[in-house]
Amino acid sequence: MFFSYDLEGNMIVKVGTFNLNNLFSRFNFQANINQVPESDSGGITIAFDEGQFAVRAFMGRLIKEKDADDTAEIARRIVHVMGVDVLAVQEVEHIEILKRFNQEHLNGLYPHIALVEGNDQRLIDVGVLSKLPIGKIVSHQTAVHPEDPNTRVFGRDLLQVEILDSNRNKLFTLYNTHLKSHYVPFGQDPVQGAINANNRRRRQAEMVSEIISKMERPNSRFVLVGDMNDPPDSQHLSAMLSVDNQPLINTLSSPSETRPAKTETPGQGEGPQTKAWTHRYNPPGADPPEYKLFDHIWVSQALDGRFSEPMIDRRTKHGGDGSDHDPAWIKLDL
């Protein structure tokens, strides 16, 4: 692997985050094949006996493989636009589909992959793809909050991954998470459901800060990334934005864009008022759509002044290009 260095010999590492939006696999059945046909036979027919076929669903909805065109599009953005050395991802079904995505769509760009199965009922996990070697991998999925000590606080996980140099010396630690969404299931009281979701996100943010404070020394180099489902100024995330009484640094407060935002639909407002957004929310009847920075990259005080060129790849369609989130990344001078 080729890596860039500055004039002082410090390594330049590009770190990004991308919610891949339901990177699911296709395999949800069992079957026996008596004979594999010849390669030119035109395909294969599989017959299922009773009890061998299982339909995977979540809340009554069939879980299907990610659309092929959308999969190709997120791969294009990763390879040809982002070009990052370390990529934190969210909404991945399991490590095997992430490995397959890397081999089949990213041409094996990332030899080092980390993912630990988390808590989500929809089976979406957080993971890390890296050109650099990976050291210690720690899952904090079993953490609980004092307000609800019998329930795991993270709906997915807080994944801790050490990023190493070629000599296996630690460069920094990456923390990747995916906090509680604003979604309220059909049939629940929408007001109380929103309150519950915000409280869950607050508890998760508080535990992120507590866990990192325990894991890191005051002068440690670490990066906190992920889909936070709230903007940086949200009151529900306020506890997360300092670790061991030291404020984290928002690297995406003033990012650049790969292209200007798509013009908003006539009658739907003026569009985003800032470049610092990665998610567009436009539910039925909404006016105007909401543009918010849900995907964050925070760095510790030890990395203050060592990050540059914050960037967001801007979508070409209002609904998103392969994902309803736009990816973000920075350069770290290590």
86-141 per-position pLDDT tens digit: 999 999 999 999 999 999 999 999 999 999 999 998 889 999 999 999 999 999 99
Rounded to 5 degrees, what are φ and ψ at 307? -115, 155
CA angle 281, 329, 22 (to 5 degrees): 50
Beta strand 86-92 pairing with 11-23? parallel
132-146, 188-202, 299-313: which range is least confident on average? 188-202
pLDDT recorded at residue 66: 87
CB 44 within 8 A of CB 37: yes
Model confidence at 155, pLDDT cuts 50, 70, 90, reads very high
Residue-wise burial string across 8-25, b where 16 or more C-beta atoms lie within 10 A, e elsewhere: eeebebbbbbbbbbbbbb
Amino acid 87: pLDDT: 98
d(CA 164, CA 145): 31
Which residue in 308, 1, 327, 309 sits closest to 132, CA to CA? 1
Indicate whether this model's pTM tops 0.85.
yes
Name which of 18, 12, 8, 26 is nearest 171 in CA terms. 12
Q: What is the mean pLDDT of residues 180-186?
A: 85
| Cβ neighbour number for residue 111 with a 10 Å cutoff | 13
Q: Domain map of the chain by residue range? A: 10-26+54-333
CATH number of this structure's domain 10-26+54-333: 3.60.10.10
